Protein backbone atom coordinates (compact mmCIF):
# COMPACT_ATOMS: atom_id res chain seq x y z
CA UNK A 1 0.00 0.00 0.00
CA UNK A 2 1.37 3.38 -0.98
CA UNK A 3 1.77 5.85 1.86
CA UNK A 4 -0.78 8.54 1.03
CA UNK A 5 0.09 12.15 1.74
CA UNK A 6 -1.58 15.42 0.86
CA UNK A 7 0.78 18.24 0.06
CA UNK A 8 -0.47 21.81 -0.19
CA UNK A 9 1.60 23.64 -2.79
CA UNK A 10 1.70 27.43 -2.52
CA UNK A 11 3.98 28.84 -5.24
CA UNK A 12 3.45 32.54 -4.43
CA UNK A 13 5.29 35.31 -6.23
CA UNK A 14 8.44 36.10 -8.21
CA UNK A 15 10.56 33.00 -8.71
CA UNK A 16 8.24 31.07 -6.37
CA UNK A 17 6.33 29.21 -9.12
CA UNK A 18 9.54 28.34 -11.00
CA UNK A 19 11.41 26.81 -8.07
CA UNK A 20 8.33 25.08 -6.65
CA UNK A 21 7.80 23.30 -9.99
CA UNK A 22 11.25 21.72 -9.65
CA UNK A 23 10.65 20.65 -6.07
CA UNK A 24 7.37 19.01 -7.10
CA UNK A 25 9.23 17.13 -9.85
CA UNK A 26 11.60 15.81 -7.20
CA UNK A 27 8.71 14.81 -4.93
CA UNK A 28 7.09 12.87 -7.76
CA UNK A 29 10.28 10.90 -8.30
CA UNK A 30 10.66 10.33 -4.55
CA UNK A 31 7.08 9.00 -4.48
CA UNK A 32 7.95 6.37 -7.07
CA UNK A 33 11.22 5.43 -5.35
CA UNK A 34 9.97 5.22 -1.79
CA UNK A 35 6.38 4.09 -2.23
CA UNK A 36 4.38 7.25 -1.58
CA UNK A 37 1.21 8.46 -3.17
CA UNK A 38 1.30 12.26 -3.05
CA UNK A 39 -1.70 14.44 -3.84
CA UNK A 40 -0.70 18.00 -4.72
CA UNK A 41 -3.22 20.72 -4.06
CA UNK A 42 -2.31 24.15 -5.36
CA UNK A 43 -3.27 27.33 -3.50
CA UNK A 44 -2.84 31.08 -3.83
CA UNK A 45 -0.70 33.04 -1.41
CA UNK A 46 0.99 36.45 -1.19
CA UNK A 47 0.77 38.92 -4.06
CA UNK A 48 -0.70 36.31 -6.39
CA UNK A 49 -3.54 35.83 -3.91
CA UNK A 50 -3.99 39.59 -3.44
CA UNK A 51 -4.43 40.06 -7.18
CA UNK A 52 -6.99 37.25 -7.43
CA UNK A 53 -8.91 37.56 -4.19
CA UNK A 54 -7.93 40.80 -2.45
CA UNK A 55 -6.43 38.82 0.45
CA UNK A 56 -2.80 37.73 0.90
CA UNK A 57 -3.93 34.53 2.64
CA UNK A 58 -7.37 33.46 1.34
CA UNK A 59 -9.53 31.29 3.56
CA UNK A 60 -9.39 28.52 0.97
CA UNK A 61 -5.59 28.39 1.09
CA UNK A 62 -5.62 28.27 4.86
CA UNK A 63 -8.19 25.51 4.88
CA UNK A 64 -6.32 23.41 2.37
CA UNK A 65 -3.08 23.86 4.31
CA UNK A 66 -4.69 22.87 7.61
CA UNK A 67 -5.97 19.66 6.08
CA UNK A 68 -2.67 18.80 4.37
CA UNK A 69 0.14 16.63 5.73
CA UNK A 70 2.73 19.20 4.67
CA UNK A 71 2.91 22.58 2.97
CA UNK A 72 5.41 23.50 0.27
CA UNK A 73 5.81 27.26 -0.14
CA UNK A 74 7.75 29.20 -2.79
CA UNK A 75 8.14 32.84 -1.83
CA UNK A 76 5.91 35.90 -1.46
CA UNK A 77 6.24 39.60 -2.17
CA UNK A 78 7.52 41.91 -4.85
CA UNK A 79 7.72 45.57 -5.84
CA UNK A 80 4.16 45.53 -7.19
CA UNK A 81 2.77 45.26 -3.66
CA UNK A 82 5.48 47.12 -1.72
CA UNK A 83 3.28 50.16 -1.13
CA UNK A 84 0.31 48.17 0.13
CA UNK A 85 -0.84 48.97 3.67
CA UNK A 86 0.10 46.52 6.47
CA UNK A 87 -2.77 44.04 6.24
CA UNK A 88 -2.63 43.92 2.47
CA UNK A 89 1.04 43.12 2.22
CA UNK A 90 2.01 39.74 0.77
CA UNK A 91 4.34 39.01 3.73
CA UNK A 92 1.33 39.17 6.03
CA UNK A 93 0.38 35.75 4.66
CA UNK A 94 3.51 34.17 6.15
CA UNK A 95 2.75 35.34 9.68
CA UNK A 96 -0.87 34.30 9.17
CA UNK A 97 -0.21 30.77 7.99
CA UNK A 98 2.44 30.10 10.67
CA UNK A 99 0.07 31.29 13.34
CA UNK A 100 -2.90 29.31 11.99
CA UNK A 101 -0.90 26.09 11.71
CA UNK A 102 0.75 26.82 15.09
CA UNK A 103 4.22 26.45 13.65
CA UNK A 104 6.36 27.63 16.52
CA UNK A 105 9.72 26.18 15.50
CA UNK A 106 11.70 27.45 12.54
CA UNK A 107 14.58 25.22 11.50
CA UNK A 108 17.40 26.48 9.35
CA UNK A 109 20.29 24.15 8.71
CA UNK A 110 23.59 25.59 7.53
CA UNK A 111 26.15 23.21 6.12
CA UNK A 112 28.42 24.23 3.28
CA UNK A 113 28.49 22.11 0.19
CA UNK A 114 32.07 21.01 -0.36
CA UNK A 115 31.92 22.25 -3.94
CA UNK A 116 30.89 25.75 -2.87
CA UNK A 117 33.11 26.25 0.14
CA UNK A 118 35.20 28.85 -1.66
CA UNK A 119 32.03 30.95 -2.11
CA UNK A 120 31.88 31.58 1.61
CA UNK A 121 32.74 35.00 2.97
CA UNK A 122 34.88 33.30 5.62
CA UNK A 123 38.16 31.44 5.30
CA UNK A 124 37.91 27.87 4.07
CA UNK A 125 39.44 26.44 7.24
CA UNK A 126 36.82 28.24 9.33
CA UNK A 127 33.87 27.00 7.29
CA UNK A 128 35.05 23.45 6.69
CA UNK A 129 33.10 21.01 8.84
CA UNK A 130 30.27 23.42 9.64
CA UNK A 131 27.06 21.49 10.13
CA UNK A 132 24.67 23.37 12.35
CA UNK A 133 20.99 24.08 12.62
CA UNK A 134 19.33 27.13 14.11
CA UNK A 135 16.04 26.38 15.86
CA UNK A 136 14.22 29.68 16.21
CA UNK A 137 11.07 30.28 18.27
CA UNK A 138 8.58 31.67 15.82
CA UNK A 139 5.33 32.66 17.47
CA UNK A 140 6.28 34.64 20.58
CA UNK A 141 8.63 37.33 21.80
CA UNK A 142 8.98 40.89 20.59
CA UNK A 143 7.29 40.34 17.25
CA UNK A 144 3.99 39.41 18.85
CA UNK A 145 4.04 41.38 22.12
CA UNK A 146 1.97 44.50 22.67
CA UNK A 147 3.20 47.53 20.76
CA UNK A 148 2.58 51.14 21.54
CA UNK A 149 3.56 54.52 20.22
CA UNK A 150 2.53 57.81 21.72
CA UNK A 151 3.35 61.46 21.86
CA UNK A 152 4.43 62.79 25.22
CA UNK A 153 5.77 66.13 26.45
CA UNK A 154 9.18 64.54 25.94
CA UNK A 155 8.56 63.68 22.30
CA UNK A 156 7.42 60.38 20.88
CA UNK A 157 7.75 57.15 22.84
CA UNK A 158 7.62 53.66 21.37
CA UNK A 159 7.23 50.39 23.27
CA UNK A 160 7.63 46.77 22.14
CA UNK A 161 6.89 44.07 24.66
CA UNK A 162 8.90 40.87 24.96
CA UNK A 163 6.66 38.19 26.47
CA UNK A 164 7.36 34.49 26.85
CA UNK A 165 5.24 31.95 28.66
CA UNK A 166 6.93 29.00 30.27
CA UNK A 167 5.03 26.54 28.05
CA UNK A 168 6.12 28.38 24.89
CA UNK A 169 9.75 28.05 25.93
CA UNK A 170 9.41 24.45 26.97
CA UNK A 171 7.98 23.21 23.65
CA UNK A 172 10.66 24.86 21.51
CA UNK A 173 13.44 23.71 23.81
CA UNK A 174 12.16 20.12 23.75
CA UNK A 175 11.99 20.33 19.96
CA UNK A 176 15.65 21.37 19.90
CA UNK A 177 16.71 18.50 22.16
CA UNK A 178 14.80 16.04 20.00
CA UNK A 179 16.46 17.38 16.86
CA UNK A 180 19.86 17.14 18.58
CA UNK A 181 19.21 13.45 19.18
CA UNK A 182 19.02 12.96 15.42
CA UNK A 183 22.33 14.81 15.03
CA UNK A 184 25.55 15.23 17.04
CA UNK A 185 23.70 15.61 20.37
CA UNK A 186 24.84 19.10 21.33
CA UNK A 187 22.46 21.94 22.17
CA UNK A 188 23.54 25.55 22.55
CA UNK A 189 20.79 27.58 24.18
CA UNK A 190 21.20 31.24 23.38
CA UNK A 191 19.81 34.05 25.53
CA UNK A 192 20.65 37.35 27.18
CA UNK A 193 20.17 36.20 30.75
CA UNK A 194 22.54 38.81 32.16
CA UNK A 195 20.06 41.54 31.16
CA UNK A 196 16.61 40.23 30.23
CA UNK A 197 14.04 38.72 32.57
CA UNK A 198 12.53 36.72 29.69
CA UNK A 199 15.99 35.22 29.13
CA UNK A 200 16.28 34.27 32.80
CA UNK A 201 12.98 32.41 32.50
CA UNK A 202 14.23 30.86 29.26
CA UNK A 203 17.38 29.61 30.95
CA UNK A 204 15.54 28.15 33.92
CA UNK A 205 13.16 26.25 31.65
CA UNK A 206 16.11 24.88 29.67
CA UNK A 207 17.71 23.74 32.93
CA UNK A 208 14.50 22.04 34.03
CA UNK A 209 13.98 20.23 30.73
CA UNK A 210 17.59 19.19 30.05
CA UNK A 211 17.70 16.20 32.46
CA UNK A 212 15.08 14.50 30.26
CA UNK A 213 17.76 14.33 27.55
CA UNK A 214 20.82 13.00 29.40
CA UNK A 215 22.39 11.89 26.13
CA UNK A 216 22.49 15.48 24.84
CA UNK A 217 25.19 17.95 25.91
CA UNK A 218 23.87 21.41 26.81
CA UNK A 219 25.63 24.74 26.92
CA UNK A 220 24.24 28.23 27.52
CA UNK A 221 25.61 31.14 25.55
CA UNK A 222 24.85 34.84 25.58
CA UNK A 223 23.59 36.08 22.23
CA UNK A 224 26.39 38.60 21.71
CA UNK A 225 28.99 35.90 22.29
CA UNK A 226 27.11 33.52 19.98
CA UNK A 227 27.13 36.11 17.19
CA UNK A 228 30.89 36.26 17.56
CA UNK A 229 31.51 32.52 17.85
CA UNK A 230 29.42 31.89 14.73
CA UNK A 231 32.05 33.58 12.61
CA UNK A 232 35.02 32.54 14.73
CA UNK A 233 34.44 28.79 15.21
CA UNK A 234 31.14 27.87 13.51
CA UNK A 235 32.10 24.20 13.21
CA UNK A 236 31.75 23.80 17.00
CA UNK A 237 27.95 24.24 16.89
CA UNK A 238 25.35 21.54 16.38
CA UNK A 239 21.87 22.74 17.42
CA UNK A 240 21.38 26.39 18.38
CA UNK A 241 18.03 27.12 20.03
CA UNK A 242 16.85 30.63 20.77
CA UNK A 243 13.93 33.03 20.96
CA UNK A 244 12.32 34.79 18.02
CA UNK A 245 14.39 37.91 17.43
CA UNK A 246 17.77 36.45 18.40
CA UNK A 247 16.95 33.56 16.04
CA UNK A 248 16.03 35.92 13.24
CA UNK A 249 19.41 37.58 13.44
CA UNK A 250 21.55 34.52 14.13
CA UNK A 251 19.97 32.44 11.38
CA UNK A 252 20.79 35.10 8.79
CA UNK A 253 24.31 35.24 10.12
CA UNK A 254 24.59 31.45 9.97
CA UNK A 255 23.20 31.50 6.44
CA UNK A 256 26.02 33.54 4.97
CA UNK A 257 28.61 31.16 6.44
CA UNK A 258 27.82 28.68 3.74
CA UNK A 259 27.71 30.89 0.70
CA UNK A 260 24.80 31.30 -1.62
CA UNK A 261 21.32 32.36 -0.62
CA UNK A 262 19.97 30.04 -3.32
CA UNK A 263 21.07 26.95 -1.36
CA UNK A 264 19.35 27.32 2.01
CA UNK A 265 16.24 25.36 2.99
CA UNK A 266 13.96 25.85 5.99
CA UNK A 267 11.21 24.07 7.86
CA UNK A 268 8.60 25.45 10.25
CA UNK A 269 7.17 22.89 12.61
CA UNK A 270 4.50 22.62 15.28
CA UNK A 271 3.40 19.83 17.58
CA UNK A 272 1.94 17.43 15.06
CA UNK A 273 3.65 16.26 11.91
CA UNK A 274 2.41 19.17 9.83
CA UNK A 275 5.20 21.39 8.67
CA UNK A 276 5.74 24.21 6.24
CA UNK A 277 8.77 23.99 3.98
CA UNK A 278 10.24 26.90 2.06
CA UNK A 279 13.54 28.27 0.83
CA UNK A 280 15.21 30.88 3.04
CA UNK A 281 15.54 33.32 0.16
CA UNK A 282 12.80 35.68 -1.01
CA UNK A 283 10.91 36.01 -4.26
CA UNK A 284 13.91 37.49 -6.13
CA UNK A 285 11.82 39.77 -8.36
CA UNK A 286 14.97 40.86 -10.20
CA UNK A 287 15.32 37.44 -11.86
CA UNK A 288 11.69 36.24 -11.86
CA UNK A 289 10.31 34.73 -15.05
CA UNK A 290 13.73 34.24 -16.64
CA UNK A 291 14.11 30.57 -15.80
CA UNK A 292 17.50 31.12 -14.16
CA UNK A 293 16.65 30.83 -10.45
CA UNK A 294 18.49 28.26 -8.37
CA UNK A 295 15.98 25.58 -7.25
CA UNK A 296 18.32 23.89 -4.74
CA UNK A 297 17.01 25.66 -1.61
CA UNK A 298 13.48 24.53 -2.43
CA UNK A 299 14.56 21.00 -3.33
CA UNK A 300 16.45 20.73 -0.03
CA UNK A 301 13.33 22.05 1.75
CA UNK A 302 11.51 19.06 0.30
CA UNK A 303 14.24 16.83 1.79
CA UNK A 304 13.41 18.40 5.15
CA UNK A 305 9.73 17.63 4.50
CA UNK A 306 10.55 13.95 4.03
CA UNK A 307 12.55 13.95 7.25
CA UNK A 308 10.45 16.02 9.61
CA UNK A 309 6.86 15.54 8.38
CA UNK A 310 7.08 12.00 7.01
CA UNK A 311 9.87 10.68 9.27
CA UNK A 312 11.73 9.34 6.25
CA UNK A 313 15.43 10.02 6.70
CA UNK A 314 16.37 7.70 3.88
CA UNK A 315 14.37 9.68 1.34
CA UNK A 316 15.75 12.92 2.75
CA UNK A 317 19.30 11.68 2.38
CA UNK A 318 18.64 10.49 -1.15
CA UNK A 319 17.53 13.99 -2.17
CA UNK A 320 20.52 15.63 -0.49
CA UNK A 321 22.91 13.24 -2.15
CA UNK A 322 21.35 13.81 -5.56
CA UNK A 323 21.92 17.55 -5.12
CA UNK A 324 25.52 16.90 -4.12
CA UNK A 325 26.13 14.72 -7.12
CA UNK A 326 24.76 17.32 -9.52
CA UNK A 327 27.07 19.90 -7.96
CA UNK A 328 29.95 17.43 -8.10
CA UNK A 329 29.33 16.92 -11.78
CA UNK A 330 29.98 20.64 -12.27
CA UNK A 331 26.44 21.77 -13.02
CA UNK A 332 25.42 25.18 -11.68
CA UNK A 333 22.66 27.73 -12.03
CA UNK A 334 23.71 31.24 -13.06
CA UNK A 335 24.07 32.53 -9.48
CA UNK A 336 26.80 29.97 -8.74
CA UNK A 337 28.44 29.42 -12.09
CA UNK A 338 32.12 30.04 -12.72
CA UNK A 339 33.94 29.64 -16.02
CA UNK A 340 34.58 25.95 -15.45
CA UNK A 341 30.89 25.12 -14.96
CA UNK A 342 28.00 24.08 -17.14
CA UNK A 343 25.20 26.59 -16.56
CA UNK A 344 21.70 25.16 -16.53
CA UNK A 345 18.27 26.74 -16.39
CA UNK A 346 15.99 26.23 -13.40
CA UNK A 347 14.05 23.46 -15.15
CA UNK A 348 17.17 21.73 -16.48
CA UNK A 349 18.61 21.76 -13.00
CA UNK A 350 15.50 20.13 -11.56
CA UNK A 351 15.68 17.47 -14.28
CA UNK A 352 19.32 16.77 -13.44
CA UNK A 353 18.48 16.26 -9.77
CA UNK A 354 15.65 13.90 -10.73
CA UNK A 355 18.00 11.98 -13.06
CA UNK A 356 20.54 11.70 -10.27
CA UNK A 357 17.87 10.31 -7.94
* Residue-wise DSSP of 38-99: EEEEE---THHHHHHHS-SS-HHHHHHHHHSSEEEEEE---GGGTTS-GGGSTTHHHHHHHH
Kindly report the CA angle at 82 between 287 and 72, in degrees rounded to 5? 60
With CB under 5 to 8 Å by kind, the binding choice for 92 among ligand ATP, Mg ion, none is none
> Which helix (H) or strand (E) covers residue 23, if one does?
helix 16-34
248 is catalytic: yes
21 is catalytic: no
252 is catalytic: yes
Choose one: 64-72, 147-155, 246-254, 287-295; the region binding ligand ATP (CB under 6 A).
287-295
Does 317 appear as a known binding residue?
no
Q: 14: left (phi > 0), else alpha (psi -120 to 50), else beta? A: left
Which residues lie near Mg ion (CB under 5 A)? 282
Looking at the Cβ atoms of 48 and 221, the one nearer to ligand ATP is 48
Site string for ligand ATP, 4-43 (x = CB under 6 A): -----------x---x------------------------
Which residues lie below 8 Å from residue 193, measured CB to CB, with a gap of 6+? 199, 200, 202, 203, 220, 222
Q: Which of 120, 199, 268, 283 binds ligand ATP (CB under 6 A)?
A: 283
- Beta partners for residue 158, in sequence order: 149
Does 288 appear as a known binding residue?
yes
212 is catalytic: no
Q: Does 77 bind ligand ATP (CB under 6 A)?
A: yes
Site string for ligand ATP, 318-357 (x = CB under 6 A): -----------------x----------------------
Q: Which of 21, 160, 252, 351 is catalytic?
A: 252
From residue 138, alpha-carbon distances to 99, 179, 186, 193 in Å are 9, 16, 21, 19
CA-to-CA distance for 175 and 165, rounded, in angstroms? 16
Q: Does 266 bind ligand ATP (CB under 6 A)?
A: no
From residue 230, alpha-carbon distances to 110, 180, 250 in Å are 11, 18, 8
Label the pairing between strands 217-222 and 186-191. Answer: parallel
Does 183 appear as a known binding residue?
no
Which residue minimizes CB distance to Mg ion? 282
Looking at the Cβ atoms of 96 and 282, the one nearer to Mg ion is 282
CA-to-CA distance for 245 and 243, rounded, in angstroms? 6
Q: Which of 180, 205, 257, 284 binds ligand ATP (CB under 6 A)?
A: 284
Does 46 appear as a known binding residue?
no
Q: Does 287 bind ligand ATP (CB under 6 A)?
A: yes
- Beta partners for residue 219, in sequence order: 188
Label the pairing between strands 105-110 and 132-137. Answer: antiparallel
224 is catalytic: yes
Q: Which of 21, 28, 42, 143 is catalytic?
A: 143
Closest CB 286 distance from ligand ATP, rounded Å: 5
Q: Enumerate residues 95-154 that contact ligand ATP by CB under 6 A.
A: none
With CB under 5 to 8 Å by kind, the binding choice for 305 among ligand ATP, Mg ion, none is none
With CB under 5 to 8 Å by kind, the binding choice for 294 among Mg ion, ligand ATP, none is ligand ATP
Q: Which of 178, 207, 224, 286 binds ligand ATP (CB under 6 A)?
A: 286
From residue 132, alpha-carbon distances to 41, 226, 319, 343, 346 in Å are 32, 13, 19, 29, 27
Closest CB 288 distance from ligand ATP, rounded Å: 8
Among candidate residues 19, 15, 20, 77, the one with its CA nearest the CA of residue 43: 20
Looking at the Cβ atoms of 37 and 290, the one nearer to ligand ATP is 290
Active site residues: 143, 192, 224, 248, 252
Amino acid sequence: MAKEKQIAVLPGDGIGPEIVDEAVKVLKRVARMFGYSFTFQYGLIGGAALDETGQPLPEETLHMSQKADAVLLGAVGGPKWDDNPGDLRPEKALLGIRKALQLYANLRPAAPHEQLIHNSTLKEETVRGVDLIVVRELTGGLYFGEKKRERTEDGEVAVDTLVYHEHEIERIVRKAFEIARLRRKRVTSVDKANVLESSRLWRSVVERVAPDYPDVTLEHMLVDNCAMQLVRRPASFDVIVTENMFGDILSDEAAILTGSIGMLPSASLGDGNIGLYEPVHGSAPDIAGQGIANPIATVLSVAMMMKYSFGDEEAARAIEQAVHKVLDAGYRTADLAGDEHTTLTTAEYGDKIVDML
